[in-house]
Amino acid sequence: MRKRISLVFLVLIFFVNPAWTQAKSKVDFTKMTCTMLNGISEREYTIYLPPSYNTDKTQTYPVLYLLHGGNCSNTDWAVYGGLQTTADSLIANGLCKEMIIVCPEGNKNNMIWFNASHWKYEDFFFKEFIPFIENHYRVISDKKHRAVAGYSMGGGASVVYGVHHPEMFNTVYGMSSYLRSQDLAFLKKDSSATWRQQIIDDNNPIKSIQSASAAKLDSLRKVHWFIDCGDDDFTYDANIDLISAFRLQNIRYQLRIKDGGHDWNYWRPSLKEALIIVSNNMK
């Protein structure tokens, strides 16, 4: 009888004592109410909540907005990019502070991260999406604790968002960034490619940096810029031109050119580096 009571007592201690249990992170695939995108009432997003989020209700967190590429989805960083496993491992090993990571949807209905006459996505992102996240989750809502990153089309958008809104972001991390229109074979089969390519050129960050005013340049110098591109990537030349624009305007940056192309074999390791860089810059 005494042995049974002792066993029950130990089991209760194990489940009740927080020191004997390990908090777990969570990834939610969810939706928000949307009013600023024409014809859309709900918009999908994926969110990573760090291990302590549901155990310490008083803690607030930095936030990383993590963008996906063309013809992809808000779920891709979690499904193909190893988001949860990578973040959990870095946090557990003390290489990255706990943060909230948000993956918005930028492909569904109209594949573009910028404003068009019929689709004001950039306005939605800054005037509706970010405020929603910062009002519904325990996010530290200031520039020092906010970053943006992405790959391909999302990498290009990350750089453009940093150029358009430098007051918003501590760190911009672009992976294989699609920065200007390119004559790619698969686009010839896409009936909507012409207007999207024009909008991409209208928002070309290389030209924006080259022609920026003194005041604008001063604000751009207050962002941590990190450019990451494979040596076999079709966006390589444009990313090098972006670096040239940074150098011309005396904007500090970090550059990584590694072996690889335009695929998840490159972006998964880059995510690890991005999370470490973002975390270090927010200290």
Domain boundaries, the chain: 18-176+192-281
pLDDT band for position 21 (cuts 50, 70, 90): low
CATH fourth-level superfamily of 18-176+192-281: Alpha/Beta hydrolase fold, catalytic domain (3.40.50.1820)
Which position has the higher pLDDT, 12 or 144? Answer: 144
By C-alpha distance, which of 145, 167, 159 is closest to 229? Answer: 159
pLDDT of residue 13: 40
Residue 219, by phi and psi: left (phi above 0), alpha (psi -120 to 50) or beta?
alpha
Report pLDDT digits (tens) over 138-194: 999 999 999 999 999 999 999 999 999 999 999 999 999 999 998 876 666 676 778
pLDDT of residue 210: 98
Phi, psi of 224 (to 5 degrees): -85, 115
> Which pTM value belongs to this model?
0.91
Neighbours of 88 (CB within 10 A): 17
Contact 89, 271 (CB under 8 A): no
Share of the chain above pLDDT 70, in %: 90
Report pLDDT digits (tens) over 232-263: 999 999 999 999 999 999 999 999 999 999 99
The Cα–Cα gap between 125 and 116 comes to 13
Asked whether residue 111 carries a pLDDT value surpassing 90, the answer given is yes
pLDDT of residue 22: 73
Which position has the higher pLDDT, 283 or 210? Answer: 210
Fill in the amino acid letter for 28.
D
- Strands, DSSP E only, in the chain? 26-33, 42-49, 63-67, 100-104, 115-116, 119-120, 146-151, 171-175, 224-230, 254-258
The Cα–Cα gap between 260 and 268 comes to 12
Most distant CA atoms of the chain, gap in Å: 82
Contact 276, 95 (CB under 8 A): yes
pLDDT of residue 54: 95
